[in-house]
Chain A
Amino acid sequence: MSKALDLITRVRGVRGAMLVSADDGLVVAEQLMEGIKGGAVAALAASLAGKLRRAMDAAGTGTSVFWHLQAEQGALLVVPSGNAEGGILVVAVAEPDVNIGLVRLELLRAAEALV
């Protein structure tokens, strides 16, 4: 798990990476810079993932593979691993100008390693 997180946090502009239980929003593993509230990010990511999953089910678009929430002072990037309901979310917290494509690639690799 820590190796998977290592690869994500090595990307320039990534401030932390976490594995989050999609079901209950709790942190499974984390590598975060000081000042990032892991519990809050995990709860937010799981809550959004749950709502997104239900909305996408209703819209008939299938499950999400990657999502990116851009905020003024940072970005949240998430890849659901395995079965989104009851599975693990691979989460990166990054600076606003991070290379999204590179982070996405590492998140997908980490998610694949978890399955």
Chain B
Amino acid sequence: MSSQTRAVESWTLQPLTDFVRESSVRLVLVLTPAGQVLAQSGFARAVDVMSAAALAAAIVATTGELARQLTQPPFAALSHQGPKHGFFLATFMTDRGTLAVLAVYDLDVSSLGLVQLFYEQLAAELKAASPKGAVQKQVLAADFERELTDSLNTLFGR
């Protein structure tokens, strides 16, 4: 298990560790569409997790709204490729509610095809491992900051 992979909710750890090993991605976040982080890999600083989670949540919300305006179901995945790095963002349903995975990869080491391939496996494993019958808690603005701080403390061992 990579020492760089940490989870707030332990059931996410093994699937995420496998995903990182197999797809050779550089950074990964597993989060809720509200921006609550469940697990991360590759991030060295809490502030980077915070900004990546906020941006990913914003993209999920934006594309979700675009899909709604087009009377389409939410987009399954979004990929963006630059000259050296690519990122992949996708959402899927689990018993824990909708989850999003943000993966950043180096084009020299991995590829969109590999990331997509192993993402499908990750999503299936997270669906299978997610706590059954979990009540989906509504995210309240008043609790968000405290929950975020708790998550970051767990992820960075503070």
Contacts from A to B (Cβ < 8 Å):
20-21, 23-26, 39-40, 42-43, 46-47, 50, 54
Closest Cβ–Cβ distance, residue B14 to chain A (whole Å): 21
B154 at the interface (CB under 8 A from A): no
Cα separation A46 to B117 with both chains bound (whole Å):
13
Q: Would you call A24 and B117 a contact (CB within 8 A)?
A: no
Q: Would you call A26 and B108 a contact (CB within 8 A)?
A: no
Q: Would you call A25 and B112 a contact (CB within 8 A)?
A: yes
Sampled A-B contacts (25; CB under 8 Å): A20-B113, A21-B113, A23-B107, A23-B111, A24-B81, A24-B86, A24-B111, A24-B113, A25-B111, A25-B113, A26-B112, A26-B113, A26-B116, A39-B116, A40-B117, A42-B113, A43-B113, A43-B114, A46-B111, A46-B113, A46-B114, A47-B110, A47-B111, A50-B111, A54-B108
Which residues of B are found within 8 Å of A46, using beta-carbon distances?
A: 111, 113-114
Which residues of B are found within 8 Å of A40, using beta-carbon distances?
A: 117
Q: Would you call A43 and B111 a contact (CB within 8 A)?
A: yes
Interface residue count on the B side (C-beta < 8 Å)? 11
Closest Cβ–Cβ distance, residue A30 to chain B (whole Å): 13
Which residues of A are found within 8 Å of B108, using beta-carbon distances?
A: 50, 54
Closest Cβ–Cβ distance, residue B157 to chain A (whole Å): 33
| Extra contacts besides A25-B111, A26-B113, A39-B116 (14): CB < 8 Å | A21-B113, A23-B111, A24-B86, A24-B111, A25-B112, A25-B114, A26-B112, A39-B117, A40-B117, A43-B114, A43-B116, A46-B111, A47-B111, A50-B111
